[in-house]
Amino acid sequence: MKTVRVKDREIGSGHPPFFVAELGTCHQGSVAVAKDNAKAAAEAGAHCIKTELFYETEVRDPSATKTYSTRSGRHEVPLLDHMRRYQFTLEQHHEIKRFADELGLPFMATAHTRQRVDFLVDIGAQAVKIASPDIVHYPLIRYAGASGLVLFLDTGGAYQHEVEMAVKAARDAGCKQLVVNHNPDGHPAKPQGHNLRCIARYQELFGLPVGLSDHYDGYEMSFAAVVAGAHCIEKPISEDRFIEECEHLWAVSRADLPEFIASLGRAWEALGQPQRPMKEGLRPVSPHRVALVARRDLAPGDAITQENVTFGKPRLGIGVEHWDELSGRTLGRAVAEGAFIRFEDL
């Protein structure tokens, strides 16, 4: 599998999960809050800071609405009001990028237009993300793929063939650094809608690192995704995920960040390596495995049978794993009842 490099970290097989701290809309419209969230993420061990380059000029229908969930229920607001509440200017995004530089972390952002991709190139961002609704925006994907930035593709509710076409569009444009983010539909996404087996399927199809954009109310889906093979986790960062505003519901609270990121690492470590056969003597043998014991006083010539032999621990005699090859063989010397049978007794 091809790995992807973002600044000084590799994303892919054999590397710990790469955690992207999404500033999203959890900043409540304040650059200061966004920077506080970024600082908390860096101190907790995050690997990348991310923002979203959305702006009200993208909305062409003033009657459009935005629906979102908080703990008190579902809310609907005019989309323009929502955009104006949370949008940052390009200079404010650049300010956050410079702050990420101070923190020593790479910076990336979601871009919805070619101009926003150009902006990210101009300010020295390390990566660009295509949002899930744009997974079929092949002109934008091609442009971002040709930018030289690492490209993250969110899949959302796309069909497999649409994801395949998006990856092809990026590769045809010359993109060499590509990550596919499984992105379960729903905000918040329900457990039964996660379909985490998609992670292995995308890895098989594309030979690329595959991550999870986590929109779940809680933390366990991120850990489950790592165990399912995810190489990258993206999740919003919040001052407190119980704040009654958009996106906080599926964020990580600042106070929980250190343990959350450490748990991602432990989940990855628990995967270990596929067990390989080892030469005799190199693999430690559990003392709790059982060995052959004389069921009664046995004389030379008596056979290794279930009538003559029982089993006991610790494993001081011939291990039970040799039973099939020894069954029916005879003893060469006497073994007292209750004694372990050893190879030299055969």
Q: How do the domains of the chain map onto residue ranges?
A: 7-271, 278-346
Integer CA distances (angstroms), 223 to 22, 41, 148, 227, 267, in order: 17, 17, 31, 6, 6
CA distance 127 to 177: 9
Residue 58 φ/ψ, nearest 5 degrees? -70, -20
Cα distance between residue 210 and residue 202, in whole Å: 7
Class of domain 7-271: alpha beta
Closest alpha carbon to 206 in 16, 9, 6, 12: 12
Inter-residue contact 311 to 286 (CB < 8 Å): no
Name the residue among 29, 20, 25, 32 with its Cα closest to residue 247. Answer: 25
CATH topology assigned to domain 278-346: Type Iii Antifreeze Protein Isoform Hplc 12 (3.90.1210)
Token digits for 20? Answer: 């992207």
Q: Which two tokens stand for residue 302?
A: 């008596």
- Cα 178 vs. chain centroid, distance in angstroms? 15
- Whether 7-271 and 278-346 share one fold: the answer is no
Q: Is 87 helix (H, G, I), strand (E, B) or coil?
A: coil
Per-residue pLDDT of the chain (346 residues; tens, 9 = 90+): 789 999 999 999 999 999 999 999 999 899 999 999 999 999 999 999 999 998 888 888 888 888 888 888 898 888 888 888 889 999 999 999 999 999 999 999 999 999 999 999 999 999 999 999 999 999 999 999 999 999 999 998 899 999 999 999 999 999 999 999 999 987 888 899 899 999 999 999 999 999 999 999 999 999 999 999 999 999 999 999 999 888 899 999 999 999 999 999 999 999 987 665 555 555 556 778 899 999 999 999 999 999 999 999 888 899 999 999 999 999 999 999 999 999 999 9
What torsion do the CA atoms of 227, 233, 239, 241 make, to the nearest 10 degrees? -60
Element housing 161 (H / E):
helix 160-172
Instruction: With beta carbons less than 8 A apart as the criterion, state whether 32 and 21 touch.
Output: no
- CB environment 163-192: b (16+ within 10 A), e (fewer): bebbbebbbebebebbbbbbbbeeebbeee
